[in-house]
Amino acid sequence: MREELKAYLAGIFDVRGFIKLRLKKYQYAVFFNFTIKELEIWKKIKEIMDLFTIAKIYKSKKRIKEYQLYIGNKKNIKNFLAAILPYSIRKNEILMMLKVIERKKTKNL
């Protein structure tokens, strides 16, 4: 069952997910934008994500009726991307992000 859930999350990421990377400040995030009409559905998706990582839902500061499901910690991003990697069609993008996270971690040692 867990593998099917990973594939489900990969499909959602492939269609609706964004990766944010700011190298100057080393800020990382994976997020999904959605409207208030979709809020209940995204709460259910968050419950599934919580099996693999920690995600939070925030109300958008820029748009009144928009929300974000947000994964913002390097460890949590790594866990989520590693879980969906085998099922995603955006493998190159995911692998690039995982390499950047690892590279930054080894530079801090």
Mean pLDDT value of segment 12-18: 94
The verdict on domain 2-107 having CATH code 3.40.47.10 is no
Confidence (pTM): 0.85
Residue ranges per domain, the chain?
Answer: 2-107
| Per-residue model confidence as pLDDT tens digits over 3-14 | 999 999 999 999
- Which tokens is 93 given? 């993008």
Tens digits of per-residue pLDDT, 80-99? Answer: 999 999 999 999 999 999 99
Q: What is the pLDDT of residues 28-49, one digit of tens each?
A: 889 999 998 999 999 999 999 9
Query: pLDDT band at 109, cuts 50/70/90?
Result: very low
CB atoms inside a 10 Å sphere around CB 92: 9
Q: Whole-angstrom Cα distance, residue 19 to residue 101?
A: 12
